[in-house]
Amino acid sequence: MEYEAVIGLEVHVQLKTQSKMFTRARCAYGEAPNTLTNPVVMALPGALPVMNKEAIRKTVQVGLMLGCEIAQSCKWDRKNYFYPDSPKNYQISQYDQPICDGGFVEIEMPGPSRNVMGEHRKVKLTRIHLEEDVGKLTHYDGESLVDYNRAGRPLIEIVSEPDLFSADEAFAYLTSLRTHLLYLGVSDCDMEKGQLRCDANISVRPKGQKELGVKVEIKNLNSISGVRNGITYEIKRQIALCQKGEGASIVQETRSWDADKGITFSMRSKEMAHDYRYFPDPDLMPVRVSEEIKKTLADALPERPFAKQERFMKEYNLPYTITSVLCPDKALSDYFESAVKAHNNPKAIANFIANDLLRELSNAGCDMAHPLEGCKIQPEALAELAKLVDEGMISKQIAQDVLVIMFETGDAPEKIVEEKGLKQSSDTGELESICSEVIANNPKPVQEFKDGKDTAINALKGQVMKATKGKANPKMVDDILRKLLS
């Protein structure tokens, strides 16, 4: 029998705010332990929560971006459970009135090849709610240490419907969701820093069956590859049990992904009595999001990433492959458009960015989540470089070298071309003598060309370019060679 997997993802995303969700203690990453707390974060007797306006705004922005219904009124609930990383031993969350209801994440499924756009599909969301993060436990032999710096940071939980059917789709979902959130700038979504965390609910069923199988929750999928590998493993495990006729031994449980061993294992359910005793937090008042605020936030939404990609392909006539490099990064695609505005050669500029600039950024060890941060080349300067090529001042090959120098020094391209004497040679006399020399020294391609093999001229051109260190204008070289050989 053939089986299919059904997957739903619960994604927790840390919102990028200055202060915490329910108190104004600072939010930061990588600070010395327990230096970002106050009475509220430490849950001292008498401490009380007060909401962070910005966290609410950011959550509404996410909801609007993902097509959710924004609740007119929502409230805060306490989720009661004991854990050493949870200072109050309850988490302030939203139980039956999330800020955002429904919605979807548009995903692109893998295409037949890297150069062909895959099919797009909307993955349904159940809800998005806002809550607070917990502290961080570090485990040692026989004991654990707790740092409460992270405790109380605003966290949104984005819950998808069981609307994903393979590890690849789950991966595409997560990638797209991340791109959307990065476009909004509400989070840096760095999984390594725990800014984006993913749990998966996975079940399998015979293909064609409507009812869902027994659901297993997988935790600790702590990296993008972990999500893919962990889900792949779990689906295989469940299908193997079904095929052995042991489908009944799939129990509803929580399992943890062990990335080192490449397996999921059962987390003993004894400690996880799921009776959270949710009740409305009496310390907090409900939230109402006015139509006015909704409209203001909606008007300020950025263009959605897939819409932008489609526009880039149409408006700039760019191939899919290059747009799929530019568009997932809002800053990069904006950079591209600024450059194009300064010099209208989209293709050349896109190539400079996707090939040369990104290579240099990566070699320089830039944070590829924000590759342009600290990039010394302004989009206008890149446009200028493309313009120099288009005006025949330098060759494409030279331009690539100029870009490397621009990247290092931040100097204007003209200045580099001038100082390094890289200007294309347009001296006809000098070029004619070099060409004559090349023709004399390369009888073989000369003969071939004369026998009618037109492409043989390229070998001669290459020799001329070599002799001029690339400074010759390729068009002129072509003209002169043809004239001399005719």
Applying CB under 5 A, which residues contact Zn ion? 157
Compare residues 139 and 207 and give the one whose CB is closer to another protein: 139
H or E element, residue 419: helix 413-420
Nearer to another protein, 272 or 298 (CB): 272
Q: Which listed option, Zn ion, another protein, none, makes contact with residue 283 (CB within 5 to 8 Å by class)?
A: another protein
Residue pair 102/124 in contact (Cβ under 8 Å)? The answer is yes
> Residue 157's binding partner, choosing from Zn ion, another protein, none, with beta-carbon cut-off 5 to 8 A by kind?
Zn ion
Specify the residue, 1 or 32, whose C-beta has the smaller distance to another protein. Answer: 32
Tokens of 18: 């200055």
119, interface contact from another protein, Zn ion, none, CB < 5-8 Å by kind: none
* Number of Cβ within a 10 Å radius of residue 405: 17
Q: Which is nearer to another protein, 52 or 323 (CB)?
A: 52
Least separation in angstroms between residue 183's CB and another protein is 20
Q: Which residues pair with 123 in a beta bridge?
A: 105
Q: Is 259 exposed, middle or buried (0-12, 13-18, 19+ CB in 10 A)?
A: middle
Nearest CB to Zn ion, comparing residues 157 and 188: 157
Minimum distance from residue 182 beta carbon to another protein (Å): 20
> Least distance in Å: CB of 133 to Zn ion?
9
Strand order in the sheet with 90-93: 90-93, 77-80, 279-280
Coil, strand or helix: which one is 474?
helix
286 binds, among Zn ion, another protein, none (CB under 5 to 8 A by kind): another protein
Question: What Rg, from alpha-carbon coordinates, does the chain have?
Answer: 29
In 10 A of CB 269, how many CB atoms? 12
Closer residue to another protein, CB minimum distance, 118 or 280: 280
Q: Which is nearer to another protein, 42 or 342 (CB)?
A: 42
Interaction partner, residue 78 (Zn ion, another protein, none; CB < 5-8 Å by kind): another protein
Q: Say how far residue 37 (Cα) sits from the centre of its chain.
A: 31
Residue where the block lists tokens 């962990």:
230
Cβ-count burial 157-188 (b if 16+ within 10 Å, e if not): bbbbebbbebbbbbbbbbbbbbbbbbbbebbb
| 356-361: Cβ within 8 A, 24+ apart | 356/400, 356/403, 356/404, 357/382, 357/403, 357/407, 358/325, 360/403, 360/404, 360/407, 361/407
What are the DSSP calls for 139-193, one per residue? EETTEEEEE-SSTT-EEEEEEE-S-B-SHHHHHHHHHHHHHHHHHHTS----TTT
In angstroms, give the least distance from the CB of 157 to Zn ion.
4
Could you tell me the smallest distance in angstroms from the CB atom of residue 129 to Zn ion? 8
Return d(Cα 202, Cα 255) in angstroms, integer.
11
Task: Tell me the β-bridge partners of 279.
Answer: 78
Q: Which SS3 state, helix, strand or coil, does residue 432 take?
A: helix
| Shortest Å, Cβ 362 to another protein | 34
Q: Taking the complex as a whole, how short is the minimal distance between the CB of residue 407 and another protein, in angstroms?
A: 36
Please say which residue, 37 or 400, places its beta carbon nearer to another protein: 37
Q: What is the nearest approach in angstroms of Zn ion to the Cβ of residue 79?
A: 8
Structural tokens at position 230: 């962990």
Which of another protein, Zn ion, none sits in contact with 292, Cβ below 5 to 8 A by type? none
Measured CA to CA in angstroms, residue 459 lies from 53, 297, 424, 462 at distances of: 67, 60, 20, 5
Contacts with another protein, residue ranges (CB under 8 A): 17-19, 24-26, 32-39, 41-56, 73, 75, 78, 80, 82-84, 87-90, 137-139, 142-148, 256, 267-268, 271, 273, 275, 277-280, 282-288
Q: What is the 8-class DSSP label of residue 89?
A: S
Tell me which of another protein, Zn ion, none is bound by residue 364, counting a contact when its beta carbon lies within the kind-specific cut-off of 5 to 8 angstroms: none
Q: How far is the CB of 184 from another protein (least distance, A)?
A: 16
Residue that is written with structure tokens 């799921």 in the block: 274
Nearer to Zn ion, 219 or 347 (CB): 219
Number of Cβ within 10 Å of residue 152's Cβ equals 31
Among another protein, Zn ion, none, what does residue 336 contact (CB within 5–8 Å per kind)? none
Find which of another protein, Zn ion, none residue 33 binds, CB within 5 to 8 Å per kind.
Answer: another protein
Name the residue whose CB lies closest to Zn ion: 157
Q: How far is the CB of 268 from another protein (least distance, A)?
A: 7
Residue type, 199: D
Looking at the Cβ atoms of 286 and 319, the one nearer to another protein is 286
**Contact partner at residue 252 from another protein, Zn ion, none, CB < 5 to 8 Å by partner kind:** none
Min CB(81)–another protein separation in Å:
9
Q: Which does 241 bind (CB under 5 to 8 A by kind): another protein, Zn ion, none?
A: none
Nearer to another protein, 218 or 398 (CB): 218
